[in-house]
Chains A and B, each alone.
Chain A
Amino acid sequence: MLGPPIRAEGLRRDYAGTPVLAGVDLLVEAGELVVLLGSNGAGKTTLLRVLATLLRPSGGVLSLFGGDARAARRRIGYVGHESGCYADLTGAENLEFHAALHGVPSSRVSELLEWTGLSSAARRPLRTYSRGMSQRLALARALLHRPDLLLLDEPYSGLDPGAAARLDALLVSLRAAGHTILLTTHDLARVVPLSTRVAILHRGRIAWTQAGAVDPVVVASAYDAVVVA
């Protein structure tokens, strides 16, 4: 089980005969916060779902923590565009369901409800939640089993400024706690300062990447050069 959280080489995934991922090379080391940028249809969501072991790769090599998909599932938390929680269950019930699937004690549920500030809403059905609240519940769901790698697909979309600021703080504290994070976004000004690495996905390939404290201005001009041009 040793090995970097993500090592992808020439990763391909076809959809209806056309390649959505056309050979992605990506190495993510433990403790990184990687921001994945790209226009709509660049393949960001597909890449995240492949990394979350929800889609099988059509070709190429993917190793997660140096092992195969099944073993890695216990160490990965995934939050997609939608919450992945049942609308007719309460917040607490949703988390308890997933805690049971992961074999996590239910004390962890109240811990996470508190941490995400949802304790007071825990007994209300998900239907009544705002977009920000269900986003936080989805994050709590993905953190139940203390995953080493967290995959977040556009976590900022639909959040009001206050909720977005809370998410910033959450990401910082998660990184401090040793989680590796890969997230996609359109809002590069917001997340790039927090990141250790930025990658731009274009036409199913990583077209540009830079590590270290990346300057948002540099990223913006790279994005223009790669995507807009």
Chain B
Amino acid sequence: MRFTDTILPWLAGALMLVSLWLIFMVVPTEASMGFVQRIFYFHVPCAWATFLCFFIVAGASGVYLWKGSKAADRLAIASAEVGVMFCTLVLVTGPIWARPIWGVWWTWDPRLTMTLILWAIYAGYIMLRAFGGEDEAVARYAAVLGIIGVLDIPIIRVSVRLLQGIHPAVLTTKEGESGLVDPWMKITLYVSAVAMMLVTWWLIALRVRAERMSGEVAELRRAVEAREGASA
């Protein structure tokens, strides 16, 4: 716990500042898309963080179902919430980038569609947690959903590509190896990605701790009530 309390926040913060400095001061402007392309160095690490979080949800859910570990359950909740937050950031930064380049906020491009579907799946996960009902059972339902969601990701990925038939490929210039010609572009991307992973780690650690504390509070309240009940 020491590391995540003391060193991690500073490390994540410092690296975030470095990546901002790289993004705005160092990296050369991409030729065809212009200044707005710099959002790419924020957008893509967010997408990677999203996937990381959702895979952690599935892994933790599996451990919870088969071993009954409460810690795994807390990790699943924390990662799902942080993952949905990053997924939201991807969905916000995407259109900001898309609008000047493609002239529209949104297209039903496979990758966009997939991100939106993933967001909906894990928003559903959070809803289930919130409106589910009884504690222990809901944790198991959510774990099942967490696993099913990740199993669905590769199938969704393949299926949304079938959509391309209708929508013209507007996106060939988006990611592109063509874009990352300057070595600073790659360096900036990787530094931003590492910074984003550290932030992800820190956020999940904070959320896990909050979840554990609320469990402890419930436990204490129960103990107090039991004592009051016994003396009454």
A→B interface (CB under 8 Å): 14-19, 22, 58, 203
Contacts and interface: CB of A to CB of B under 8 A. Distances in A.
B222 A17 contact: yes
List the 9 closest A-B pairs by CB distance, nearest first: A17-B218, A16-B134, A16-B135, A17-B135, A15-B134, A203-B229, A19-B222, A18-B222, A22-B226
Contacts of B135: 14-17
A200 to B, nearest CB: 16
A225 B112 CA distance: 68
A80 B90 CA distance: 51
B136 interface: yes
Nearest to B221: A17
Chain B contact surface mostly: helix
A58 B136 contact: yes
Contact of B136 (A14, A22, A203): A14
Interface in B209-232: 218, 222, 226, 229
16 contacts: A14-B135, A14-B136, A15-B134, A15-B135, A16-B133, A16-B134, A16-B135, A17-B135, A17-B218, A17-B222, A18-B222, A19-B222, A19-B226, A22-B226, A58-B136, A203-B229
Interface string B118-135: 000000000000000111
Contacts of A203: 229
Contacts of B226: 19, 22
A201 to B, nearest CB: 14
In the complex, which of the residues B133, B134, B136, B229 has the most CB atoms of chain A within 10 Å of its own CB atom? Answer: B136
A18 B218 CA distance: 9
A106 to B, nearest CB: 35
A138 B128 CA distance: 34
A17 B135 CA distance: 7
Contacts of B134: 15-16
A156 B222 CA distance: 34
Nearest to A17: B218
A121 to B, nearest CB: 37
Nearest to B133: A16
A16 B136 CA distance: 7
Contacts of A22: 226
A18 B226 CA distance: 10
A14 B221 CA distance: 14
A159 B62 CA distance: 47
A26 B155 CA distance: 51
A16 B229 CA distance: 19
A226 B226 CA distance: 16
A10 to B, nearest CB: 14
Interface string B42-70: 00000000000000000000000000000
Interface in B174-232: 218, 222, 226, 229
Interface string B129-159: 0000111100000000000000000000000
